[in-house]
Chains A and B, each alone.
Chain A
Amino acid sequence: MDNAAALPLVLDQVVRSDPVSHGRRRLGAAILAAGSLILAAILILQILYKADAIAFGFVTWRPVLYAYLLWAVTLGISQVLRRGEAGARALFVLPAILFIISMVVFPLLFGLYISFTDWNLSSTMGRRLNGFDNIRQMWRDPFYWNALYNMVLYTLAVLVEYAIAFGLALLLHSQIRARKFFRVVFLLPLMLSPVAVSWMVGKSMMEIRFGPVANFARWLGWDTPAFFTDPWFARISIMVMDAWTFIPLMMIMLLAGLQAVPKEVTEAAKVDGANSWQTFWRVVFPLTLPVSITAILIRIIFKLKIADIIINVTSGGPGGATDSVTSFIFREYRDRSNVGYGTLLAMVYLVMIVVFLTVLLNLFGRWMRGYDQQEA
């Protein structure tokens, strides 16, 4: 094909901005202004009405939502009218942006506001700003700090889970009999709901009188196999049940990592005279480190949300020994309708998680870089 024939085609494909007239721009601005004005007017009216400053208003906030939707439409129209082709392109992302603002940013900001209020749903006084009272209450709340302490222990247990998961992944990666069968069997706990695990394992199999696990422990010589009476034993029992459910998740990720290691590399190591341990420690393990870190991070995120097993099996007991932050917030929010304080606890926990994971990622990143340099 010669260049002369190709040139008109290329020119046709160039997107050129429409010329946007001054009047069209003004129309777009006017439509947006009208939409904004309606939204602002309805919002202010409703705020004043709800604050008892004026006698007329809407029974619910629904009209404000309608005004917001109208404003979103006028924003879209004004984009096209004022910016032409560029505005039309903006329309592709505008709904997504507005959706995120509506469903993520606004609730987050509203949640932040709620967390600085005294809002008990049973209170006749409704919601009241109370400054930093909730933070002060949290600071003095032994239940919250106890739950945070437990979370540290639960999170540390991820390292043990990782070691077990890696071992299982290696086992399933090796040439063992019935490998496919075991892959499915090992994944079964992950398919179970933690609530089902709570009842089947925690409240049935580990039940002191008739549970098969308890009977086995009795057969081994433990007279009173109470798994949830002693605080430390109760914590460990919760950790074991949670680990049993989620180790398969780490295992399957690590197995995928192992399977991605090129065979040539391990074979080369063997040719160079490396034994099995050296091959694993110097070749396979470093190559699966990124997967390992991902698996550990995902598992930590799951662990930080642990609540269902605790709520069902121990209700946080004995004496708060197994309480997690989430199970405590659940009680504070659901059982005690303490919305303001419960939201603050959740917000603080969110910040803690974000900071913790950021620091963890940073540390992992540095460690990885250090490992690479060491290897080099």
Chain B
Amino acid sequence: MLQLSNDSSFDTAGGMETGNLRDMAELNLSRLITTAADTIAAHAEELTALDQAIGDGDHGLNMKRGFEAVRSEAEAFSAKPLPEALKAIGTKLVMTVGGASGPLFGTLFMALGKEISAAPDRANLTGAFGKAIEAVAARGKSQVGQKTMLDVLQPVHDALLQGRAPFEIADIADAAAEATVPMKALRGRASFLGDRSIGHMDAGARSTALLVRTVAKTVGESA
């Protein structure tokens, strides 16, 4: 799906003008979907615990339900061209995750599908990812610094722009999720708690980091 080739030409800033990500065709989207669903399922209780601290406690279950629904149609999704596959995955997440996370994660994938090319190079991927972040921000009427998934997405976008390698991007995403702990929530249910939201990691930031690591790992291995 998101080809973050660890070809050395991508490892330095300024490497983004290099050509097509040559392994795109070999990337097994079906396997990526399965791995993502496995990851979410393995962390469902952790996500729910994070959400219970400052939200309504359904994030793990909701995400698991959504990704299981995507998993059940993995073959059909992966038979589509990448943009269509991402849009279909986004729509499925909107319909199955529920809560506010459904539209937010769904919008991320739908907007990514709208902007990405069938065989993206890093410049196209980075641009599409930037547009997708804007769409998520608009959907949630939120911005960076409000203790949300955007606080992971934006640093990941910056890392893509800098030509970072997949494993670096995964670490950056984890650190960014960790950095939501001292933040005060300004959007979503957690914002009702005001200062009491400080000291807990945002569940959406954590699930975003988990997905970023899954993509980075799958792409890193196949590159």
Is B a genuine binding partner of A? no
Residues of A within 8 A of B (CB): none
B residues engaging A (CB < 8 A)?
Answer: none
